[in-house]
């Protein structure tokens, strides 16, 4: 059973409502449920941390490669803006780095509703604000000798 030694006396566990229950009163199936869940959650959190570390490394490695690639031509690139596709020499693997912008519309959008003429598009364009970006990395593997690539999914629900 899960216990928090700082707030729960020895031989007791807290139930979902925070009440102290003697461990001897907990059914074996409830103890097994807790053990199963806690083990899976612990492993999931470790996997999540490894994926977080991988994501940071992947973005850093791609940015470093792009910078090195530009340097061979004497070009200095600032930041990691821009989409890029990288393919292995044999063409088997491909990585896409995409930077998606988060957009927010300003008060000009309300004015655009009223205009409904040639000035409406100008007001809509003026209303768009980039409020942030989110980088994405997608990995692909070529299927056999075809030109088709299949995504290497890191989405828990997709595998």
| The pLDDT of residue 4 is above 60 | no
| The pLDDT of residue 101 is above 90 | no
Average pLDDT over residues 71-87: 78
Q: In sequence order, which ranges of 23-107 are alpha helices (DSSP H)? A: 28-71
Q: What percent of the chain has pLDDT above 90?
A: 46
Rounded to an integer, what distance in angstroms lies between the CA atom of residue 30 and that of residue 96? 46
11 pLDDT band (50/70/90 cuts)?
Answer: very high
Give the model's pLDDT for residue 78: 59
pTM: 0.67
Q: What is the DSSP letter of 31?
A: H
Give the model's pLDDT for residue 111: 78
Give the model's pLDDT for residue 49: 94
Q: Are 80 and 63 in contact (CB under 8 A)?
A: yes
Give the model's pLDDT for residue 144: 86
Residue ranges of the domains in the chain?
A: 1-77, 81-159
29-54 residues labelled b (16+ CB within 10 A) or e (exposed):
eeeeeeeeeeeeeeeeeeeeeeeeee
Tokens linked to 111 = 């004015």
Q: How far is CA 88 from CA 85, 151, 154, in A?
A: 10, 15, 20
Question: What is the overall mean pLDDT for the chain?
Answer: 86
| The pLDDT of residue 121 is above 80 | no
| The pLDDT of residue 50 is above 80 | yes
Dihedral sign for Cα atoms in the order 87, 91, 93, 98: positive
| The pLDDT of residue 1 is above 70 | no
Q: In what order do the strands lie in the sheet with 93-105?
A: 84-87, 93-105, 128-142, 149-151
Cα dihedral: 59, 77, 87, 133 (round 10): 40
Which tens digit of pLDDT belongs to each residue from 131-148?
888 888 888 889 888 889
77 pLDDT band (50/70/90 cuts)?
Answer: low
């Amino acid at each position: 059973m899960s216990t928090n030694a700082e707030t729960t006396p020895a031989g007791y566990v807290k139930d979902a409502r925070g009440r102290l229950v003697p461990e001897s009163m907990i059914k074996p199936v409830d103890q097994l449920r807790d053990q199963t869940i806690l083990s899976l959650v612990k492993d999931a959190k470790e996997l999540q941390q490894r994926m977080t570390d991988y994501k940071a490394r992947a973005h850093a490695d791609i940015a470093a490669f792009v910078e090195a690639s530009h340097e061979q031509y004497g070009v200095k690139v600032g930041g990691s803006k821009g989409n890029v596709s990288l393919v292995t020499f044999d063409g088997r693997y491909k990585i896409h780095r995409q930077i998606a912008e988060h957009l927010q519309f300003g008060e000009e959008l309300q004015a655009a509703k009223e205009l409904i003429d040639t000035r409406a598009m100008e007001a809509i364009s003026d209303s768009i604000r980039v409020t942030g970006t989110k980088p994405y990395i997608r990995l692909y593997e070529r299927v056999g000798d075809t030109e088709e690539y299949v995504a290497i999914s890191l989405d828990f629900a997709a595998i």
